[in-house]
Amino acid sequence: MQSLESEKVLFLCTANYYRSRFAEELFNYLARQQQLNWRADSAGLEVEKWRSYNPGTMSAHTVEMLEAMDIMPVARNRPERPFDPEEIEAVSRCIALSQSEHRPMIERMYPELLERIEFWEVEDLHLEAANTALPKIVDQVEALVDSLAAEGP
């Protein structure tokens, strides 16, 4: 008998404003399209540090790319959310968007969680333009959704 509760994936980035929010919205859209029993959430490792630098609750790059893909951002007005290390127990997959940026943060702040976190390699705007970074996330999220669909219920 299939569980009614969805499996969960958590996307992490620095401020929960740009990359992780894009991955969350895209994943949830694709999972619904494929009728997967999965849902995504996202959080930031240093939300408070960067909140004053980020206008609004979600990056304009994220919103523009989602809308270009005909995906209306469901959580567009949700404020950035700090990562709570206890929530890792409730997720099946935890993916940090940048190995080079986020691994050192996790090693410093939550070393006990390091083995539970997967790392992708998508850099923040000061290192990689949105028109390069967001398509990388599309490719990785699509591959993730396809692999979950192939695993079946």
pLDDT in tens, 59-73: 999 999 999 999 988
Is 103 strand, coil or helix? Answer: helix
Is 111 a domain residue? yes
Is 125 strand, coil or helix? Answer: coil
Q: Band of the pLDDT at 54, cuts 50, 70, 90?
A: low
* pLDDT average, residue stretch 24-39: 96
Domain hosting residue 101, numbered range: 7-151
pLDDT value at 27 more than 90: yes
Measure the CA–CA gap between 18 and 61, rounded to whole angstroms.
Answer: 7
Q: How many domains does the chain have?
A: 1
122 close to 96: Cβ distance less than 8 angstroms: no
Q: What is the pTM of this model?
A: 0.91
Is 1 a domain residue? no
102 close to 14: Cβ distance less than 8 angstroms: yes
Is 2 a domain residue? no
Is 141 a domain residue? yes
| Domain of residue 132, CATH code | 3.40.50.2300
